[in-house]
Amino acid sequence: MNGTTIDLLTPTEIAALLARRVRALRLRENWTRATLAARAAISAASAKRFENTGAASLDLVLRVASALGRLDEFASLLAPPPARSLAEIERRSAGPDRKRGRR
């Protein structure tokens, strides 16, 4: 991904990377943490904790992304991969999605 080793990072490292990116975007906008918090409808303490540790709920991350105008980047996250064959397309459209993981 963009010449980096994103796929080799742990969840904790990804969280820290997102936190650094949020901080950089916030500073690019010349916003204080309080401004980001107000625009994201979160507490200033939560914004600070996220930027410093990467710890945040999904709801908080989505609110921050929305405040920074980047929410659309989450729309394709975890989307099913493209079908590799006509049979796979037919299988996907044949019936409702499974409710459980067993086969």
> Over its length of 103 residues, how does the chain's per-residue pLDDT go in tens digits?
455 556 789 999 999 999 999 999 999 999 999 999 999 999 999 999 999 999 999 999 999 999 999 999 999 898 888 888 888 888 878 766 667 766 5
Q: What is the pLDDT of residue 92?
A: 78
**CATH fold of 6-74:** 434 Repressor (Amino-terminal Domain) (1.10.260)
Q: How far is CA 75 from CA 37, 46, 71, 80, in A?
A: 22, 24, 8, 12
- Enter the tokens of residue 34: 């309080």
